[in-house]
Amino acid sequence: MSAPIPRQGASLVIAADAARARILAAVTPDSPLRDYASLANPEARLHEGDLVADDGGRRNHRPTEGGHSAFGGGSMKQHRIEEFAASVCQGVEAALRDTQAERLYVVAEPSFLGLLRRRMDGQLERRIAGTIPKSLAGETAERIRAALPSRL
């Protein structure tokens, strides 16, 4: 992480999807975004079979019963994505503490945005100034900034 951002007027933006999350900062409401930190979840790009062992090579192993797995009814991949959402929330909380930014904007792929919302505590939710359900984590800071309000 880089040096803290001045508190007065600063905003943080999280641009995320199931595979990556970028925390960007705007020093003033009108300034461009600059990268502050990033997180990666390479397991989101793997196939389910790459995440779950198949019991010594037997192809007839049944990891689920009745369509439910040991991971709360979802797949191991979904479980890892949910863990990543929790990690992203922890990273954002740390960035907000470090920078003392006043506002947070969340730009996330729609289904991942839902996971983030479920993992946020009340204090983090209160800092959110806006959300945009778009997958822009792999885009440039300029493209992400263009999707946000003109004044952060």
Looking at residue 68, its pLDDT comes to 43
Look at residues 120, 149, 138, 107 and name the one whose alpha carbon lies nearest to residue 14: 107
The β-bridge partners of 60 are none
Looking at residue 57, its pLDDT comes to 46
Cα separation, 51 vs 120, whole angstroms:
26
In angstroms and rounded to an integer, the radius of gyration of the C-alpha atoms of the chain is 18
Written as tens digits, the pLDDT of the chain (152 aa) is 555 565 667 999 999 999 999 999 999 999 999 999 999 997 655 544 544 444 444 444 444 444 444 445 567 878 889 999 999 999 999 999 998 898 999 999 999 999 999 999 999 999 999 999 999 999 999 999 999 999 99
- Helix (H, G, I), strand (E, B), or coil: what is residue 38? strand
**Contact of 105 with 128, CB cutoff 8 Å:** yes
Query: How far is Cα of residue 3 from the mean position of the Cα atoms in its chain?
Result: 21
Q: Which domains does the chain have, with CATH numbers?
A: 11-46+67-147 (3.30.420.60)
pTM more than 0.95: no
Tokens of 150: 């003109």
